[in-house]
Amino acid sequence: MALKKNNVLKLSTLILAMLLFFSLFNFYKVTANFDNFKEKSSEENKLKQSQLDEILFKYDSLKITSTYNASSNTDELVRFDTKVLENKKNNVVNSDEKTINTQIRFLKTVIDSDSKQLNILSKKIISNKKTLNNLESLKQKEVKVNAEKLSVININARGVKIITDKYTRPSDKKIQQLRVCFTVEGNEFVKKGEKKFYIQVVNPRNQIISSESTFIELTDVKLVYSAKVEANYSQKDIDICTYVDLEKSKTIKGKYKINVYNEFSKIGTAIFEHN
């Protein structure tokens, strides 16, 4: 029985000790929070006092300036000065809060105004970009229309041999001519009339084949060509074919480049492979 009482006493003592420790811990925590709150409140009061002093200083400066510029408002300034001094004596913080709120509203107004101006500038930039794109498009169309440049498609070439006697065949296996055909595309912006087309054949050694040394020259520009053909152009598609006499010494196996010129302007090119 005595042992049971002794255990109960020990348990009670332990519980009391834990309660005491918990109470001391809570007391220390509350004390620390109170000190922290006290320090924070002191700093806030100093900050508010500093802001109030700054507002009063600005007001004093404004009052001095206003005295020079508008002497007729003296009575009103005196009344306002008296009111501010009374608020300062009574430690009224509401005036300070109203001033801060007024400044915040002013800053919001400035930000909203800047945002509106930014939106206006953005719209102007977008509008200017559209205008620039339209001008570029018109410029490209104008260049295309005013160029009056012909174009050719479906350029093809085929090697042929000249047969003088229908009963005999030439022993030389090399081709003697190229039959070059192409289509001139119709263009309503190009004037109708006779057009001259020059065919230039360039062999794999980058040599221009020109059996009769044919060329046209304008000031410092010289165009060596292999064959010339003329056609009556009526602003519609027209198919043209002609033969190019090959030079035996320049006729080799490989890839040939076929260039088509209208005057001095290249209007088409193709590749012919001779095996």
Q: Are 259 and 266 in contact (CB under 8 A)?
A: yes
- What CATH number does the domain located at 152-274 have? 2.60.40.2560
DSSP 154: E
pLDDT in tens, 198-251: 999 999 999 999 877 788 888 778 899 999 999 999 999 999 999 999 988 898
- pTM strictly above 0.75: no
pLDDT, position 96? 62
Which of the four pLDDT bands, split at 50, 70 and 90, describes residue 65?
A: low
Mean of the per-residue pLDDT values of the chain: 77
The residue type found at 116 is: K
Strands 238-245 and 227-233, how do they pair? Answer: unpaired
pLDDT, position 70? 47
Q: What is the mean pLDDT of residues 164-189?
A: 78
pLDDT in tens, 105-116: 777 787 887 778
Does pLDDT of 146 surpass 50?
A: no
pLDDT, position 174? 74
187-220 as b/e, with b when 16 or more CB fall inside 10 Å?
beebeeeebebbbbbbbeeeebbbeeeeeeeeee
Q: Are 226 and 160 in contact (CB under 8 A)?
A: no
Look up tokens 């953005």; give the residue: 122
Residues for the chain: how many in total? 275
